[in-house]
Chains A and B, each alone.
Chain A
């Protein structure tokens, strides 16, 4: 799937140092844009949206986990959801309605053409849903865990749901649509690599080599007038060092000392925006003592100075996270203002000790001990090689040690970590919480009893095995309510529960590492105009690509 900042950092770390050195001096003909691209005149854009490993496979199947990141610049969804705020932008659908909690009706946009000239119809939409029903391994958005059937009614597509399931609309809306006239000819769509993609999006595939490919503007695009960039150039090698030295226009990468590296490379034009993503949290195993004790969890939360942890882990690029589970400030609109201090839990050693005492741990000398005098020992699991998390955990360890807890940090390899997370094989484990911008999704994944499985069984949510009848009732209600005011009210209550019951201990926000250059194009998302996440995969880049303007030179 998508190459991530962190894995990029880890795996490409080696190539990284090398590459900067390399590219600064040597004349690797990666660039298509040399000195001719004086400010304002360029129509081509160099992006680091996709990483070769080390070269590119030609896979543009939008339903494949191994697809090229830019596949989503060619295939579009019905609605684009900005996961930072939950804001929706109608796309291939002009909108959708929920006449009742079991039905979603999408109105399909008129005048949209596939890049081969054929019109995009409601039939294509139905076909795309049915295709992933037939091949569940292609159902990357999970549409059919909600859907019962899909039918076409003129220009609309009616989705019948399995149950009363209001939040499902947002999941269905993100389904990528493919042309039936092409895909119905494909023998095995699962292993189809779609080397000559025909899509509806703003770009089509131009040249492809294993080391670099280019996308050119789709002149028949339904909002072609909004697309200012004529060509996207995507090299396979784009380590952090390449990015700094090669004059990229848009890159997604964690950049050490960004002011001293990326910005310094072109102080006039280079900017960055690292908005908050899902909260990186400590997930306690709530089937075990003492982690099942809310006082104990509160003690841990109070014992930590989360801003210091955030600074150590992410070099001061992100802030501590709110214990409500929301991504602030982007989700401020749905924050319950009655929660003190926006849900930020400040470090308070005395209060922490008081909480630990309620949980049965008292201070004896330098150590916290239980009633039998045994010192408190906890183990924190974090994946090996995710260096920023490790730095955060090391800080957690030193802060908890200071209050008198023996902390052991274990670092299994990523896959083993994932297995331990899912099967509940941990005391406390690092994990991401929330982040879809959809309250039902986020809180259900955090606390929903539907995901709570016995220890040893592979869960796909609620990894801490949190149990709360109150939360379950609220989630069930949120699932069937179409009334927006009611939705907000329930969301507030879920925030309260998260804040008070601590199903996780929120530490800091995972960042989205957007690096932009204003040299050739302007209109990038920013803190002042947070219309999209800076990420380069999934559908939100379409918002950016239709938002950019040529720079005034």
Chain B
């Protein structure tokens, strides 16, 4: 219990620090939101002084001293009120995030879970059959695929599956004329559009899970208690699953906690390439437009989810491996 309480205290502290960093970091960026908006306009041609004034009035320079801003910000965070986005003025940040989150959760989140489960299983298999082709094939392929830059894989996938073969649509979350609803038809459309980004993420992330699981698994397979279990005449598969895999999965689980939280940030490049209306795309827009409110909300969401995932994993770790509780 004390273990859990201490972890909880740490969680709250980290949460506060992360929230504060979320406040500080965007403000370290040189230039104001108005500067960003004017620069964007200036690409088109001249921005007259009066237009600049109007934009500054509209986007404004956040009022009050930094300290006042910070207090307001903390208060808003507690109430989950993030105000109005600069980039997509006058949309509410909360609405923007709510609009983008499902796409990322459905597409990227689901794929990450699939990749973890699949990768872990293949890793177990590879370790068990090590030295055979069932080991070398997935490990070499996995290390090659996981070395692909995300965006490049995405481009290749689009080229072959989208263009050469023409099997899948290559941008957007659903068809241009479709109206989001709860019909099977729309669901099918969504899955159809999610196919390519999902394949991209699956391919590039699968390798990491395979390699990680394989290596820890091989380690545990050599441990005394596994040898002992084998010597006691337990069946190979029982040993692999019951004894070795259960222990070997711990480090991988840590990674999974991190990855699940990092889903949002990690999806940035993929969502960019596929013009997928998820959180990653939103985040890129926010960052390049100095959209403080939107950035804060997104960063907060990401950090909180990573923290929670970590917290849960640590608690789980404590339960599964009493040694770490010391």
Contact surface of A with B, Cβ cutoff 8 Å: 1-2, 4-7, 11, 14-15, 17-30, 52-55, 57, 59, 61, 64-66, 83, 136-143, 145, 171, 190-193, 209-212, 235-237, 277-278, 383, 386, 412-420, 422, 431-436, 441-442, 445, 451, 460-461, 510, 535, 537
Which B residues have a C-beta under 8 Å from some C-beta of A? 29-33, 35-46, 48-55, 57-60, 84, 87-91, 151, 154-155, 158-159, 162-172, 174-179, 272-277, 281, 285, 288-290
Tell me the bound Cα distance from A170 to B255 in angstroms: 62
**Which B residues are CB-close (under 8 A) to A24?**
163
Contacts of B54 in A (CB 8 A): 65, 136-142
Contact present for B170 and A19 (CB under 8 Å): yes
Given A17-B155, A18-B162, A26-B169, does the pair A419, B30 have CB atoms closer than 8 Å?
yes
The answer to whether A15 and B58 touch (CB under 8 A), given A5-B43, A142-B51, is: no
Alpha-carbon distance A64/B55, docked complex (angstroms): 9
Return chain B residues, CB-CB under 8 Å to A29. Answer: 175-177
- Bound-state Cα–Cα, A550 to B223, Å: 81
**CB contact between B175 and one of A1, A23, A211, A535 (< 8 Å): that residue:** A211
Known: A14-B272, A415-B32, A419-B35. A54 touches B171 (CB 8 A): yes
Q: Are B277 and A2 in contact (CB under 8 A)?
A: no
Neighbouring B residues of A171 by C-beta, 8 Å: 50
Contact B176 A235 (CB under 8 A): yes
User: B104 → chain A, closest Cβ, in Å?
Assistant: 13
Q: Is the Cβ of B89 less than 8 Å from the Cβ of A65? A: yes
B88 touching A7 by the CB < 8 A rule? no
A235→B169 CA distance, assembly (Å): 15
Residues of chain B lying within 8 A (CB to CB) of residue A66: 87-91
Which residue of the partner chain, among B50, B273, B285, contacts A53 with CB atoms under 8 Å?
A: B285
A-B contact pairs, 10 of them (CB 8 A): A4-B44, A15-B272, A15-B273, A18-B155, A18-B170, A18-B171, A64-B58, A66-B89, A137-B60, A237-B172
Please measure, in the bound complex, the distance between the C-alpha atom of A237 and the C-alpha atom of B173, giving whole angstroms: 11
Cα distance A180–B75 in the bound complex, in angstroms = 38
User: What distance in Å separates the Cβ of A208 from its nearest Cβ neighbour in chain B?
Assistant: 10
Listed from nearest, the 7 A-B pairs whose CB atoms lie closest are A142-B50, A415-B31, A22-B170, A21-B163, A191-B90, A25-B166, A416-B30
Contact A2 B41 (CB under 8 A): yes
Residues of B within 8 A of A418 (CB): 31, 35-36, 38-39, 42
A11 to B275, CA, bound (A): 10
Known A53-B285, A140-B51, A412-B30: A236·B176 in contact at CB below 8 Å: yes
Q: Which residues from A are CB-within-8-Å of B171?
A: 15, 18-19, 22, 28, 54, 237
Does the CB pair B90–A442 fall under 8 Å?
Answer: no
Smallest Cβ distance from B273 to chain A, in angstroms?
5
**Nearest neighbor of A146 in chain B, beta-carbon distance:** B50
B103 to chain A, nearest CB (A): 10
List of A residues within 8 angstroms of B44 by Cβ: 2, 4-5, 535, 537
Report chain B residues within 8 Å CB of A461.
48-49
Partner of B58, one of A65, A141, A210, A278: A65
Which chain A residue lies CB-closest to B282?
A53
B46 touches A139 (CB 8 A): no
- Residue in B closest to A29 when the chains form the complex, CB atoms: B175
Residue picked from B36, B40, B178, most chain A C-beta under 10 Å: B40
Given contacts A7-B40, A26-B167, A415-B35, 14 further A-B contacts (CB under 8 A): A1-B40, A4-B41, A14-B273, A15-B273, A22-B171, A26-B170, A30-B176, A65-B55, A139-B54, A191-B84, A193-B91, A237-B171, A415-B39, A436-B46
Nearest B residue to A431, CB-CB? B42
Contact (A416, B41) CB under 8 Å given A25-B163, A66-B89, A66-B91: no
Report the minimum CB–CB distance from A149 to chain B (whole Å). 18
| Closest residue on chain A to residue B40 by CB atoms | A7
Q: Which of A25, A59, A436 has the most CB of B within 10 A?
A: A25
Q: Which residues of A contact B46 (CB under 8 A)?
A: 278, 432-436, 442, 445
Q: How far is the CA of A4 from the CA of B42 in the complex (A)?
A: 9
Query: Which residue from chain B places its CB closest to the CB of A212 in the assembled complex?
Result: B176
Please, which residue of chain A has its CB at the minimum distance from the CB of B269?
A: A14
Residue of A nearest to B38 (CB): A418
In the bound assembly, the distance between CA atoms of A510 and B46 in angstroms comes to: 10
Minimum CB–CB distance from A454 to chain B (whole Å) comes to: 17
Q: A4-B40, A21-B162, A445-B48 are in contact. Are A54 and B172 (CB under 8 A)?
A: yes
B288 contact set on A, CB distance < 8 A: 11, 413-414
Contacts A18-B171, A22-B163 given; does A209 touch B176 at CB 8 Å: yes
- A141 adjacent to B51 (CB under 8 Å): yes
Residue contact B179 to A64, C-beta cutoff 8 Å: no
* Complexed CA–CA distance, A193 and B29 (Å): 29
Q: Are A4 and B43 in contact (CB under 8 A)?
A: yes
Could you tell me the distance between the alpha carbons of A514 and B48 in the complex, rounded to whole angstroms?
23
